Amino acid sequence: MKKLLLLSWLLLGAAQAAAPQDTLVIMQGADIPTLDPGAAYDDSSGTFVENMYETLVGYRGSSIRQFEPMLATKWALSNGNKTYTFDLRKGVKFHSGAPLTCADARYTFQRNLVTNNSNSGNWFLSESLLGTQDNAWKDKTITWARIQKAVECNAAGQLVFNLPRPDATFMAKLAFYGNGIVERAYSAKIGEWSGAEKDWRGWVGKDLTDSKLSRAPNGTGAYRLLRRDASTVLLEAFPSYWGGKAPINRVLHRKVSDQAVRIQAFLKGDADFIEGGSRTVDEEQLKGKPGISWLDDLPNVTAGAILMNNNIKDPRLIGSGKLDGQGVPADFFANINVRKAFSYAYNYPEHIKVLFNGKGKQRTMLMPDAFFGYDDSVKIYTYNPAQATSFFKEAYKGELWNKGFKLVVNYRAGDLGLQTTFEMLKKNVEAINPKFKIILQPKQWSDLISDSKAGKESLFRISWIPDYADPDNFLYTYYASDGFYSSVTNYRDERMDVLLQQARQTGNPIERSKWYSQLGKRAYDTAPAINMPAASRFVHFRNNLVGITPTTFNPMLTFAGGVLWKDLRKK
């Protein structure tokens, strides 16, 4: 009967009944690109992966530095901190019913090393275990023997990692949701990599976004997939979960692009949790309303930017492809004067006022200010139309100013905050010269991700959620010529690469901070991205939902509520 009631509720589109008591209902504007942990590298996918799969270790409570056992119960370091040995938890079952073995854990990490590509987070795992961010196609020194040696199972059934050099961030990397453990036999049976040498070459660099495992996921987490379509994902509590069945029986995710519809559903109780918009909108429409709980001043460990692509590969975004007023050259943002002009054209105080309701700050660097290495003395770009005008006039020796330009920009559909961000940029740039035109278009999130990684987007607004709590995860990611966003921006700066490598080779945090300070100054000088202000983080949810508190909220979890769903219940 309960299943029939839930189905009826789904078919009615939540229009005539409150969210079922045994179901956590989440509404977001974004779709879910993948349910394969080996490919998940965005907050929408990560939210599901971290609740359907489990890693060896997790973050303890609200800490981002302390770890607690998950699928591993204890661990030890040896060999000059280059060998990590893990005891695995007994009595753990996959959703298929099969028991967890060391062979499954070994398969998971070897699969991530083999399929490592620019669309996933496996680059930093490969960096720790193989000494390179590349896969076997790019780095010919990577052999099957090296991959086998990197991750082993010893005679006692323990999982062993053998690193080429010490890595103080390795434990944090293991807590990343993309390292959720998958079952080897099940994966091979449905058509994934066998885990053997015979076919590993055919899987090198393979895109797992729409893998068979994504369509039929199988983890050890507290929730398992019931069904998925273009607009809904339905999970149920796994009855054989080693930690005990979750209090909330089902989790329903509905893709609802219209924020106004999400807000109305939330206010009526048809949704327990929604993707909000700007702080200003949410405070005006949700804070203090009956049935709504609100937590504020939570830690923000993200860092956001508008990335400017130095080589736009989609001709639909650059019009004529020339400086004739009807388009822009593909390398439009390779011109440093253009980048500086755009940086001066953004109204940072207005952003803080409009989107954060005054509760935010403009950081000097693209990293959390709570991390070591952050330098508050680095210069920042301010909203300065006169300076923007000057640099626009300098660009292309005055030709850009005289002829104007037309640029198409895509943004994440259903995200009012991102839409507002680009509308502000458009307004300010076009006010400088009537010959300047920016055309804004909404685009589905999964398409936006894939096209940005292919270098097709002109501007790409992103907030980086740390994979592990270290400044390198931000600064290398954003600025390195081989960093994760290098294919998005096509930005190359030799001095920046030198500074990043110097910091990596320095173990002392104080010495590393000196290199990062120089890097921040170099970023100001070259303006590779528009550094977005950082908000004071907040979260809202229906007040019958128990488990989201300041002491349980962990900013390293991708679910906006900062907790795992298994730790929630309804009263």
Query: Checking phi first, is residue 337 left (phi over 0); if not, alpha (psi -120 to 50) or beta?
Result: alpha
Q: Domain for residue 211, yes or no?
A: no
Task: Say whether pLDDT at 7 is over 50.
Answer: no
Structure tokens at 286: 């949700």
Query: Using an 8 Å Cβ cutoff, are 284 and 278 in contact?
Result: no
Q: Which two tokens stand for residue 10?
A: 């789904």
Reported as type and span, the H/E element at residue 304 is strand 303-308
Q: Are residues 9 and 113 in the same domain?
A: no
480 and 497 both lie in a single domain:
yes
Question: Looking at residues 200-211, what average pLDDT do you find?
Answer: 97
What per-residue confidence (pLDDT) applies to 118?
A: 82
- Give me the number of domains the chain comprises: 3
| 376 found inside a domain | yes
Distances (CA, A) of 415 to 386, 422, 428: 31, 11, 20
Give the pLDDT band (50/70/90) at residue 299. confident
Nearest Cα to Cα of residue 500 among 524, 476, 469 = 476
Question: Does 488 share its domain with 434?
Answer: yes
**pLDDT above 80: residue 15:** no
Do 356 and 416 belong to one domain?
yes
Say what the pLDDT of residue 57 is: 97
* CATH number reported for the structural domain that contains residue 360 in this entry: 3.10.105.10
Considering Cα of 53, then 59, then 61, then 62, what sign does the dihedral take?
A: negative
Minimum mean pLDDT range among 311-315, 334-338, 502-506, 541-545 = 502-506
pTM value? 0.80
**Predicted local confidence at residue 9, as pLDDT:** 46
Per-residue model confidence (pLDDT) at position 2: 42
**166 with 238, same domain?**
no
pLDDT value, residue 500:
92
The answer to whether residue 148 sits within a structural domain is yes
What domain range includes position 282? 2-31+230-300+536-570
pLDDT band at 85 (very low <50, low <70, confident <90, very high): very high
pLDDT tens profile 415-443? 989 999 999 999 999 999 999 999 999 99
Q: Considering the chain, what is the average pLDDT of its residues?
A: 94
pLDDT for residue 164 is more than 90: yes
In a domain, 44, yes or no: no
Whether 227 has a pLDDT exceeding 80, the answer reads yes
Whether 203 is covered by a domain: the verdict is no
Same structural domain, 284 and 337: no
pLDDT, tens digit, 9 for 90 and up, residues 462-485: 999 888 878 889 999 999 999 989
pLDDT tens digits, 24-42: 999 999 889 999 999 999 9
pLDDT for 1 equals 40
Show which of 123, 151, 184 is a domain's final residue. Answer: 184
Query: Three-state SS across 88-119?
Result: ECCCCECCCCCECCHHHHHHHHHHHHHHCCCC
Q: Looking at residue 371, what is its pLDDT?
A: 86
- Cα angle 521, 120, 457 (rounded to 5 degrees) comes to 65
Rounded to whole angstroms, the Cα distance separating 33 from 209 reads: 7
214 inside domain: no
Q: What is the CATH number of the domain that holds 275?
A: 3.40.190.10
pLDDT at position 17 is: 55
Number of H helices, E strands in the chain: 21, 22
Confidence of residue 318 (pLDDT cuts 50, 70, 90): very high
Percentage, residues of the chain above pLDDT 90: 85
